[in-house]
Amino acid sequence: MPSNELKEFIHQLPKAELHIHLEGAITPETVLKLAKQNKMQDTLPAKDVDGLRKWFQFSGFDHFVSIYVTIQNLLRTPDDFALIAYDLGADMYRQNILYRETTFTPHTHIDYQHKGLTIQDILSGLDQGRQQAHQDFGVEIRWVFDIYRNLAFINSPNSEYNPEPAEKTLLYAQAGLGHGVVGFGIGGNEVGAPSAPFQETFLQAKQSGLLSVPHAGETMGAESVWEAVRVLQADRIGHGVRSIEDPELIEYLRDYHITLEVNPTSNLCLHVYDSIKNHPFQRLDQAGILVTINTDDPPLFNTTLLDEYALIADAFGYGKQDLARFTRNAFLATGADLETKQSLLENFDSQVTNLL
């Protein structure tokens, strides 16, 4: 365990987080609230918070997906989206996270689950929640809209590519410009769902002013990260940890300043690595890669951003200077507008000087 002094530092450090999923950040308390509001308690496996907390405990990928789908199904109205965005901001305040770039998958809510929601419903809810959180807690929330890649290959691996999920997500992300959407991503299982068919959509997203922030190098190795940088012109990589398997790729990521959004506990839960000691975080850092610390789906992996910093510090013996450096990497790689980014960085630098 890190010392109490280092733990206190981790809390006081003004942090930015670049990789967290909106639905994967919903707590058991909020799940219950949403279910009651929408009279959907019978869709849940438990009737109280304790029961839901037990259900949340990670026990394997299939269980993880079933929780995720159940949570998505509970989101029915603009107010529901306002509630979860506001909760996300309250959690930021508790952990002293000043900026969160949060991934959300609009296509699954609008076109896949037929709930009668429009992109305007969702954007107005998200806007309301994030603006209220900004007002009450002073935190900045931005969005990455992403494609669930496996929906584009329904009968993968041999099915034809279905362009609808990507094209619709692009339209939703473009509608979200000016509503806090700053990035365009893709997630899901990389196996049997290659990046090449998504090239044109990502190109258009970048031309619209969005960052390209695909997940890659999690369920597959370096070749998937190569695809993400070459085909999707990634500005950052979600995970990307398995890049360590290819020295040439490591050189490329370093030379082009492509930041990795590392999620240590998520990688352990999903068996990308069997122990934190075997996790490549430190080797990536030593190779000169811009690494950042993130949570992915914190309540589902029973973690927080504070826990992730403590885990990394403990596993690799990092001290205050190193942890501040990883946070700075995150502030540098945000997709926020220049003015917001500059003010966040100035604030970070001045606060850190007093903390070190």
Nearest to 85 by CA among 155, 152, 141, 1: 141
- By CB under 5 A, how many residues form the interface with Zn ion? 1
Interaction of residue 87 with Zn ion, rule CB under 5 A: no
We find the least distance from the C-beta atom of residue 294 to Zn ion, in angstroms, to be 8
- Which residue has the closest beta carbon to Zn ion? 296
Contacts (CB under 5 A) with Zn ion, residues 200-229: none
Which of residues 6 and 293 has its CB atom nearest to Zn ion in the complex?
293
**Which of 55-63, 162-170, 223-231, 291-299 is the region at the interface with Zn ion (rule: CB under 5 A)?**
291-299
Name which of residues 135 to 174 contact Zn ion (CB under 5 A): none
Does 218 participate in catalysis according to the annotation?
yes
Q: What is the spatial distance between Cα 101 and Cα 25, in angstroms, rounded to a whole number?
A: 12
Nearer to Zn ion, 14 or 217 (CB): 217
Q: Considering only CA atoms, which of 92, 127, 106, 125 is closest in space to residue 20?
A: 92
Measure the CA–CA gap between 296 and 34, rounded to whole angstroms: 21
**Closer CB to Zn ion, residue 2 or residue 264?**
264
Which C-beta is closer to Zn ion: that of 9 or that of 143?
Answer: 143
**Residue in 296, 306, 309, 331 binding Zn ion, rule: CB under 5 A:** 296
Report helix, strand or coil for 210: coil
Residue length of the chain: 356
d(CA 210, CA 229): 15
Q: Which stretch binds Zn ion (CB under 5 A): 53-61, 92-100, 289-297, 315-323?
A: 289-297
Residue (174 or 295) nearer to Zn ion, CB: 295
Min separation Cβ 103 and Zn ion, Å: 6
Laid out side by side, the sheet with 15-21 consists of: 15-21, 97-104, 140-148, 181-187, 211-212
At its nearest, how many Å lie between Zn ion and the CB of residue 19?
6
User: How far apart, in whole angstroms, are the C-alpha atoms of residue 267 and residue 274?
Assistant: 9
Q: Which of 101, 190, 218, 261 is catalytic?
A: 218
| CB-count burial class (<10 Å; 0-12, 13-18, 19+) for 299 | buried
Beta bridge partners of 259: 236
Please give the residue ranges that form the binding site for Zn ion (CB under 5 A). 296
